[in-house]
Amino acid sequence: MSLSDWLVAKRNSVSKKNIQESNLQVPEGLWIKCEKCGLLMYYKALNKNSKVCPQCSHHFPTSSQDRIKQILDKNTWVPINNELASTDPLGFADQKLYGKRLQDMKLKTGLHDAVQTGVGLIGNIPIALGIMDFRFMGGSMGSVVGEKLTRLIEKATIERRPVLIVCASGGARMQEGMLSLMQMAKISSALYKHQKESLIYIPILTSPTTGGVTASFAMLGDLIIAEPNALIAFAGRRVIEQTIREDLPDNFQTSEYLFEHGFIDLIIPRTHLKSKLTQILSFYHNPYKLD
């Protein structure tokens, strides 16, 4: 074979190999694109960074199970009232029976309802923690959410633990009507008793925190913390503008706007949350420690 023939054969072989490699399927879920800056990143790298974009610091939605790992000391989480689950007290039906919707959510998320509650350690300090999960019916506050949070706060009061609640919710659960609205008062009452015992409560507002959650326990904290650029509101923009007949600033329902106007106390990125909580809780746990 001449040199020219060998070069042609080699080129054809390389071209065929490239075509075969280009037809290979890339497994789904390995890569994810940031919706804010467009950065394409390896999904495991995003998870390692607490689901925060390393380029623009956009906070991706995350699950309650992930937040347990992000906030608490390793292997200290002890769930309580984990088996409580909603029923269908009103026999509610829209496009789907409420009972069927609950079953679908349980299968999809592996949760019994829209909040996980338990106790654990942060920086070796005992705390009680509630974490709402937006994946379960938009984190809506039904009877079970209210009951689990109330029991958590009551346990924390007895054991003299600080309470932290990670809020992520679209508001009260319409499928339970007045029963869901009653949870606002029930949780608030438990928090009042907790406060009367000189115990601290810290809500952590994530995106979104809206409706009845914002109107009750999300805004009752001794220290209110929010994630950057979180949507925090009671009613939607259109409803407010139609009611007051005025145009509102583009960012008026963000954590940054609320911080500027005194509604929240701190904005802490998710990647720094555990270290900041450790610092805050240590001040409370040992107020005379100066170093």
Output the known binding site for Zn(2+). 34, 37, 53, 56
What's the one-letter identity of residue 78? Answer: V
Determine the Cα–Cα distance for residues 182 and 187; give it in Å rounded to an integer: 9
Tokens linked to 21: 């490699």
CB 106 within 8 A of CB 83: no
- As to burial, measured by CB atoms within 10 angstroms (0-12 exposed, 13-18 middle, 19+ buried), residue 83 is exposed
Q: Is 115 left (phi over 0), alpha (psi -120 to 50) or beta?
A: beta
- Phi first, then psi: give them for residue 61, nearest 5 degrees: -60, 145
| Helix, coil or strand: residue 154 | helix
Q: Which residues pair with 187 in a beta bridge?
A: none
End-to-end Cα distance, the chain: 80
- Which residues fall in the annotated binding site? 34, 37, 53, 56
